[in-house]
Copies of this chain bind each other. A is one copy, B any other.
Amino acid sequence: MTRVLSRNPSTGTERELNVNETTPDEVLRLCDRAASVALEHAGRPLSWRSELLRTMAHELENDAGNLVTLALEETALGQPRLEGELRRTAFQLRFFGDVVDDGAFLLASIDHARDSPMGPLPDLRRMRVPLGPVGVFGSSNFPFAFSVPGGDTASALAAGCPVIIKAHPAHPATSQACFDALVRGAQKGGAPEGLLGLVFGFEAGVALIDAPALKAVGFTGSVPAGRALWSRANARPTPIPFFGELGSANPLVVTSAAAKERGPEIGAGFAGSMTLGAGQFCTKPGLLFIPQDANGDALVTSLVEALNELTTMTMLTADIADHFRSGSVTIAGVDDNSHLVGDGPNGGTSVGPQLFEVPAAVFSDPSSRALREECFGPLAIVIRYLNRDDLSKALASADAALTFSVFTSNNDDDAAWLVELGHTKAGRVIANGFPTGVGVSWSMQHGGPWPATTNSSATSVGASGVDRWLRPVTYQGVPEELLPEALRDANPLAVPQRVDGVRR
């Protein structure tokens, strides 16, 4: 038995929790138990399901003081941020309750029997049903919103799936306490036992991917870990979908007109965005494209000044900080590269912000691969472009990303083509704003083309997050009384239905 350790990144101290790493056998047992209650959970009324999510939100809030204290010790993310994140997480659970109540996620469609140019068509009724037990891998950088009680868990429960969660080793005590709150909510709601499971440890994570009862995986984390697990999910005897949100370098372009209009303001704002949460956001803007002129220079000056005013930051774990420092060294090694801000602390979890500057031609050179990859932490690359053509070539060489931001002025000739280009390279295109901050709403998309995520059609934030955990089933000629309620003519659940092709 290996005890789970909780580490304080600020002090370096660690303590043993009263919980063991989960054995592969225990993981299998949890998954099988979840599978055994999957149909029962899926079959409960939608109104019960939405209320369950709200009860869980309530239980999280009831334990807010304790949860924030634990997260503060384990993540060093700061009290205001953690309190806000917990509020967001509770809001997210309630929001998915609204998504359940709305019912459109079922995509209920009824085609009555009819003649067609193909001959007679039978009665056909289609809706989406839950996949079954889902595995959720919590992130390091969001102990609440993308971890145990986060968007993957909330959306999977909303879709009607049991959830087995792999706690991130950066915050096991927080994970356990959050899980306990969710379980209290489940018990108060009268959920079937086994709807939720929590596992700890690297081996448990691998066993979870391999568990025959598991039907899909949600993951938020690094590119190497995510790709390894994605490959493993594909290598199963029965492969399962793996929704990995892996992060990206997130280009941010400032047009000539915008730099002229408000370069220093943008520079100061950028400093705040790239260092928010010690730069530990998958939406951190890591690539700043600005003109090679005096306005661009003023922007850089403002950015450098703002970064130099910042104090040392504490990263989530020593491993993450080490990785950040080695990433900085690799980037510094690229030729024709100016190190504008750097020389942070050299050990432990403490780091300082890092800023590099290269000409656009250097950025797009094949040998500059390191510049184009995400470096998790408070680091950004300034790319100076000479003209539109130079910018266009540099952007073409950038990887696809979660976000693509554009700062423009009024009647800006560069606005239209940049917005159009942005939508081909990212899941979210932002005008005159910073990409950090991913609001939970109906219209949010958090996920972009490979390598940002493993599945560009999916989102891990917002109402459409439920899509990942559903698959469609058509009932043909099935008598009314044997149909799911959402597909009955009388529509007892009052869900949106498309009937004979017409949206209702």
Which A residues are within 8 Å of any B CB, using their own CB? 39, 84, 87-88, 90-91, 98, 102, 104, 107, 109-111, 116-119, 121-122, 124-126, 129, 131-132, 234, 238-241, 415-416, 419-420, 423-424, 426-433, 439-445, 447, 449-451, 454-457, 459, 462, 464, 467, 470-479, 482, 496, 498, 500-501, 503
**In whole Å, how far is A154's beta carbon from the nearest beta carbon of chain B?**
14
Whether B473 pairs with A445 at a CB distance below 8 angstroms is yes
Instruction: Give the docked Cα–Cα distance between A239 and B227 (Å).
Output: 11
Instruction: Give the docked Cα–Cα distance between A132 and B423 (Å).
Output: 12
- CB neighbours (8 Å) of A476 from chain B are 428-431, 433
Number of copies: 2
Instruction: Give the docked Cα–Cα distance between A130 and B117 (Å).
Output: 29
Q: Which residue of B lies closest to A420 (CB)?
A: B39
**In whole Å, how far is A404's beta carbon from the nearest beta carbon of chain B?**
10
**In whole Å, how far is A434's beta carbon from the nearest beta carbon of chain B?**
10
Instruction: Give the docked Cα–Cα distance between A415 and B477 (Å).
Output: 13
Whether B457 pairs with A470 at a CB distance below 8 angstroms is yes
Whether A472 pairs with B445 at a CB distance below 8 angstroms is yes
Candidate in A129, A457, A459 with the most chain B CB atoms within 10 angstroms = A457
Q: Which residue of B lies closest to A90 (CB)?
A: B117
Whether A439 pairs with B122 at a CB distance below 8 angstroms is yes
Which of B87, B238, B415, B439 is A450 in contact with, Cβ under 8 Å? B238
**In whole Å, how far is A213's beta carbon from the nearest beta carbon of chain B?**
12
Name 27 A/B residue pairs within 8 A (Cβ), A-sorted: A84-B119, A87-B117, A88-B117, A91-B116, A102-B503, A107-B464, A109-B443, A111-B442, A116-B440, A118-B440, A126-B445, A126-B464, A238-B450, A239-B454, A240-B450, A241-B455, A423-B475, A426-B473, A427-B474, A428-B474, A429-B473, A430-B476, A430-B477, A442-B500, A444-B474, A449-B471, A456-B471
- CB neighbours (8 Å) of A430 from chain B are 476-478
Whether B110 pairs with A443 at a CB distance below 8 angstroms is yes
- CB neighbours (8 Å) of A240 from chain B are 450
- CB neighbours (8 Å) of A471 from chain B are 427, 449, 456-457
Given contacts A451-B238, A482-B419, contact A501 B118 (CB under 8 A): no
Q: Which residue of B lies closest to A406 (CB)?
A: B478
- CB neighbours (8 Å) of A444 from chain B are 124, 126, 474
**In whole Å, how far is A73's beta carbon from the nearest beta carbon of chain B?**
24
Q: Which residue of B lies closest to A132 (CB)?
A: B424
**In whole Å, how far is A336's beta carbon from the nearest beta carbon of chain B?**
26
Which of B91, B238, B429 is A474 in contact with, Cβ under 8 Å? B429
Whether A416 pairs with B498 at a CB distance below 8 angstroms is no
Whether B456 pairs with A464 at a CB distance below 8 angstroms is no
- CB neighbours (8 Å) of A90 from chain B are 117
**In whole Å, how far is A484's beta carbon from the nearest beta carbon of chain B?**
8
**In whole Å, how far is A189's beta carbon from the nearest beta carbon of chain B?**
21
Instruction: Give the docked Cα–Cα distance between A464 and B467 (Å).
Output: 13
Whether B482 pairs with A124 at a CB distance below 8 angstroms is no
Given contacts A429-B475, A471-B427, contact A443 B91 (CB under 8 A): no
Instruction: Give the docked Cα–Cα distance between A39 and B423 (Å).
Output: 11
Whether B431 pairs with A125 at a CB distance below 8 angstroms is no
Whether B118 pairs with A439 at a CB distance below 8 angstroms is yes
Whether B91 pairs with A439 at a CB distance below 8 angstroms is no
Whether B431 pairs with A457 at a CB distance below 8 angstroms is no
Instruction: Give the docked Cα–Cα distance between A479 and B449 (Å).
Output: 24
Which of B104, B119, B454, B501 is A503 in contact with, Cβ under 8 Å? B104
Whether A122 pairs with B433 at a CB distance below 8 angstroms is yes
Whether A501 pairs with B98 at a CB distance below 8 angstroms is yes
- CB neighbours (8 Å) of A427 from chain B are 471-474
Whether B431 pairs with A445 at a CB distance below 8 angstroms is no
